[in-house]
Homo-oligomer: A and B are copies of this chain.
């Protein structure tokens, strides 16, 4: 966020898309006041990110800022509001990628970093590494001066009650109403033609044994390359990992000439769906087209396209 504003070219194409997780999100599962709360939160994040892009902000700053807001909101399963593990903890994962440099950073299994996405960015920019895990990642974040919190900071009554309910039922992976694959993410194209992608999550409720999903994995949950697209995924992480989802969309564009819409649809609605991999992605192509396919019942999502049109949706 320390990028000085630049004058934007009047012809420059900018675009932004965000998600707040996919799952069994229906009008009957979401009371009207809650629906409005989600709509307001997504709208605020889009407006903030878009204003930055309009001021000549860099896509990397924009996706980090958008994901920080989503992490700070207790409505989403990332940062504050993360789901609970089998042991009743909050273990967070995040990753970020710069489509201009093809550099990336990620953290996994962290419990004390207030904004895991900023730790991921610090890994990318201030270490020779890409992926740091556990207490090592926390030490790095502390050394870098990032905000460290007590693990209790991530507690929300909503997630704790969901955990208690499912934990008592001894489910290893939850399938309650509402968001099932809670993850947040952002993708942006800035006025310099640079793409970036960022993803952050509390992971799968009741996860055990240090389970890590696709969110902190470059190529699976997050990918950005100015030559093709920027992608952030949300879904059943194990399937997204084995199907290398985010990079596969880029590969279909690069090697088969597909549009971002066709590539994202092919991966999410056909390849993944055939393998029972439920979830969705948000993607922006190098020319600014936005695609947001999902195979789950609903996905919290929103975008501001190149023509300035904003849309916020959660149901099919």
**Which residues of A come within 8 Å of B, CB atoms?**
97, 102-104, 108-109, 127-137, 139-140, 172-173, 207-213, 217-220, 223, 237-238, 241-244, 247-248, 251-252, 255-256, 275
A97 to B243, alpha carbons, bound, how many Å?
11
State the Cβ distance, A207 to closest chain B Cβ, in Å.
Answer: 8
Is A211 a contact partner of B136 (Cβ separation < 8 A)?
yes
Q: How far is the CB of A126 from chain B (nearest CB, A)?
A: 11
Contact A210 B136, CB 8 Å, known A218-B241, A255-B256: yes
**Which of chain B's residues have a CB closer than 8 A to the CB of A97?**
242
Q: A132-B210, A209-B136 are in contact. Are A218 and B247 (CB under 8 A)?
A: no
- Considering the chains assembled together, what is the distance between the CA atoms of A207 and B127 in angstroms? 11
Main secondary structure, interface of A, reads mixed
CB-based contact B220/A218 at 8 Å? yes
Complex contact A140–B209 (CB within 8 A): yes
Beta-carbon contact of A210 and B137 below 8 Å: yes
Contacts of A211 in B (CB 8 A): 129, 131-132, 136
Given contacts A109-B136, A217-B217, A217-B219, 4 further A-B contacts (CB under 8 A): A133-B210, A218-B242, A218-B244, A256-B256
Minimal Cβ-Cβ distance residue in B for A108 = B133
B-side contacts of A209, CB under 8 Å = 127, 129, 132, 136-137, 139-140
- Residue pair A212, B104 in contact (C-beta under 8 Å): no
Instruction: Check if B133 sits within 8 Å of A134, measured CB to CB.
Output: yes
Q: Is the CB of A241 within 8 A of B137?
A: no
A-B complex: 8 closest residue pairs judged by Cβ atoms: A136-B210, A255-B255, A219-B244, A136-B209, A251-B251, A140-B209, A133-B210, A244-B247
Are A219's CB and B247's CB within 8 A?
yes
Contact A128 B210 (CB under 8 A): no
Query: Could you tell me if B210 and A241 are in contact, using CB atoms closer than 8 angstroms?
Result: no
**Cα distance, A304 to B24, chains bound together (Å):** 50
Note all chain B residues with C-beta closer than 8 A to A218. Answer: 217, 220, 241-242, 244
User: How many angstroms between the C-alpha atoms of A104 and B242 in the bound complex?
Assistant: 6
Given contacts A217-B217, A220-B219, A247-B219, contact A134 B104 (CB under 8 A): no
Contact of A238 among B129, B133, B172, B251 (CB under 8 A): B129
Shortest Cβ gap from A198 to chain B (Å): 15
- A220 to chain B: which residues have CB within 8 Å? 218-219
With both chains docked as a complex, state the minimum distance between the C-beta of A171 and any C-beta of chain B, in angstroms.
11
User: Is A134 within 8 A of B134, CB to CB?
Assistant: yes
Closest B residue, CB atoms, query A85:
B136
